[in-house]
Amino acid sequence: MHQVDDITIDQLTKIEGDCSLNVKVVDGKAEKVEFALVESKRFYTEAMKGKPIAAIPQLLARICGTCSNAHIMADLEACESALGITPSKQTMLLRNLTMYGLNIRDHALHLYLFVLPDAYKKDSFLDFDENIPEEHNILHDAFDIKAVGNFLSILIAGRSVHAPYPTIGGFIHFPDKAGIEEAKKKLEEIRPAVLRTIELFKNIPWKFDRQASFMALVPERYGFLTGCIRTSENECIEEKDFRSHLEHVVVPYSQASAYKYAGKSYMVGSLARMNLAKDNLNERTKKTLGDTLNLFPSTNVYMNNLAQAIEILHSVDESLDILNQNEFKPEPVIKAPFRDAVGIGVIEAPRGTLYHKIVLGADGIVKEGEIIVPTGQNQINIETDIGVLVNDLLEKKTSKDEIKFEIEKLIRAYDPCISCASHFLTLNWEE
Amino acid sequence: MTTEPQIRKLKVAWFSFSCCEDNVIVFSELLNDHWLEWKKLIEITNARVLRTKNVMEDFDIAFIEGAIASPKHVEKLTEVRKLANKLVAVGACACTGMPSAQRNYFNVEQKANIQPLVDKFGSLPKVLKVSEVVKVDAEVPGCPMDPSDFVTKATALILARRAELAKEIGISA
């Protein structure tokens, strides 16, 4: 008789960070899914207390390597809102370019190194064989796209991880003409590889439908830094009201926190952004992609992968527009006196809406802060979906190994970042 | 006709402990330019971020990022040390403990705030750098590591290990 007992994956692989998964199976049904974030906490919200405001963005970058530049952008916004600083137009352009470099690099890393091996039934991206023409092209496209994102990040922000140039009130270093020309050339040359990536993910026939609310920051032009927070219900929430709109749900078996909005779980990330704001994509991106964009809005979780591939193209095209249409000159960092204030920063990190809050004293010392990361918001969906998936597979008498493979594949579609999710202090712990 | 013996590919591993995993991201960027060359000399047999079927067998070089924050970390790191010919601490958290070890320096109030979680998850009383737990053969410091420093030190280790293996099988490296 076919019998599957509890399913445990001690260490999920090819995702950011360290976590395990337990599925309790009773009478052939998944009864409880524990997506447990077991990575050791590093207590960043506690560590920020008592530190000078100037130290906070770089400190909080260290929450997560791959999302570090997103944390810097969110925190600069929080610090500047506390200080009453309005960044210059050039600063915002450079920050947008920083986000585009990050999205190109980070999405390509996720799509090629984490997701694609599943589609080709390989254990690792490094097992692709350069002597097979198709795999040779895939290897080169992956490395070439990532390299362009990396180059753009280094040119604009100084590094693709823990970027040193962006600071409260502006930038401390500006891209030179030679670097900008080289970036433009590289961005233009990478477009065909990005289009191949989009075709590749468009043709992977994976499907997992879920009815969910979607939430994302929606600017006038598709982007990652400004706008109000839109939902599937067409609400427009101001950044400052974001926290009060979320119901904090403590997940007792986990070191991270999970969130519900208006009593329902919701999804953030590329799919949410594409579903809510595809009309605001770069004009060249829209023209190039044509009917492909009709695939959105979508309730298929796997379409998050295609949405990321499209965001790579948008990031390339927007970067080209910004670099072609602007000149960058050194300008002084805007300074402002310290004051008692609360600052909020909300941005779209590659994996979804990222919220930073700091409470500043008149002495320039941070009293406390709060951070809400995308994976914490998606966690309830991930758990619910794994339960549905496992029940479906159990009914089809699928083997345990195959179930484990399908679970990891679905989790990867959400692109969770456990490095981010595990580090937030939740003291009202349920015993 | 006999075939001259070849030096086998070196078995390389990457382990991440308590950290933001910035170094493995920098490493993944180094793959853009170097993987097609490196793969002639090495195979990556254990790296959670890169593969699912990870092998806990002898490693020629094990790279360790992150600080050591729990008894499980100590156990795993000790096991890796036993299996690794050379063990390299990569990045600030592995080399110095910081910033992952920041709770070691919290004031009384901060420590009281976090203690329930430290207890609940059975974390070590103090976060440790890698060399406080096992012998470290080389360090690549930085937050994140400097990519060129990593390439220089990794290349030196690879060449030295290849020379050892060549000697074992009686050929020139």
When mean pLDDT is compared across A103-117, A210-224, A302-316, the lowest value belongs to A210-224
**Predicted confidence (pLDDT) at residue B63 exceeds the cutoff of 70:** yes
- CATH code of the domain containing A67: 1.10.645.10
Tell whether B55 is covered by a domain. yes
Find residues 384-413 of chain A whose CB sits inside 8 Å of chain B: 408
Q: Which pLDDT score, from 0 to 100, does residue A429 have?
A: 29
Greater confidence (A375 vs A342) lies with A342
* pLDDT average, residue stretch A214-227: 88
When mean pLDDT is compared across A207-221, A245-259, A279-293, B3-17, the lowest value belongs to A245-259
Structural domains of chain B, count:
1
When mean pLDDT is compared across A16-25, A407-416, B28-37, the lowest value belongs to A16-25
- Give the Cα separation of B103 and A42 in Å (integer): 7
How far apart, in Å, do the first and last CA atoms of chain B sit? Answer: 22
Which of A372, A214, A387 minimizes the C-alpha distance to A303?
Answer: A214
Query: Which residue of A21, A37, A42 to mutate against B (max B Cβ within 10 Å)?
Result: A42
* pLDDT average, residue stretch B75-96: 98
Tell whether A33 is covered by a domain. no
What average pLDDT is seen over chain A? 90
Tell whether B46 is covered by a domain. yes
Q: Which pLDDT score, from 0 to 100, does residue B95 have?
A: 98
Tell whether A32 is covered by a domain. no
Tell whether B173 is covered by a domain. no
The answer to whether the Cβ–Cβ distance between A62 and B22 falls below 8 Å is yes
pLDDT bin (cut points 50, 70, 90) of residue A428 is very low
- CATH code of the domain containing B145: 3.40.50.700
Tell whether A313 is covered by a domain. yes
Find residues 412-431 of chain A whose CB sits inside 8 Å of chain B: 419, 425-427, 429
Helices (H), B39-104: 71-83, 91-96
**Continuous segment of H or E residues that includes residue A31:** strand A29-36
pLDDT digits (tens, 9 = 90+) for A41-56: 889 999 999 999 999 9
Cβ burial of A182 (10 Å; 0-12, 13-18, 19+) is middle
By residue range, what is the domain housing residue A303?
44-421
pLDDT digits (tens, 9 = 90+) for A296-323: 999 999 999 999 999 999 999 999 999 9
Q: How many CB atoms lie within 10 A of CB B74?
A: 17
Tell whether A60 is covered by a domain. yes
Contacts of A358 (CB under 8 A, 6+ apart): A48, A53, A56, A75, A78, A79, A82, A342, A343, A366, A368, A369
Contact A329, A174 (CB under 8 A): yes
φ, ψ of residue B36 to 5 degrees: the values are -65, -25
| Residue found by looking up tokens 């909005």 in the block | A261
- State the sign of the Cα–Cα–Cα–Cα dihedral A362, A368, A374, A378: negative
Tell whether B115 is covered by a domain. yes
Whole-model pTM? 0.95
| Residue found by looking up tokens 């390509």 in the block | A108
The answer to whether the Cβ–Cβ distance between A126 and B52 falls below 8 Å is no
* Shortest distance, CA B39 to any CA of chain A (angstroms): 9
Beta bridge partners of B65: B16, B90
**Predicted confidence (pLDDT) at residue A241 exceeds the cutoff of 90:** no
In this prediction, the answer to ipTM > 0.90 reads yes
Q: Which pLDDT score, from 0 to 100, does residue A354 have?
A: 93
Contact B7, B171 (CB under 8 A): yes
| Residue found by looking up tokens 């979906």 in the block | A385
By residue range, what is the domain housing residue B21?
10-165
pLDDT digits (tens, 9 = 90+) for A64-95: 999 999 999 999 999 999 999 999 999 999 99
Structural domains of chain A, count:
1
pLDDT bin (cut points 50, 70, 90) of residue A251 is low
Find residues 190-249 of chain A whose CB sits inside 8 Å of chain B: none
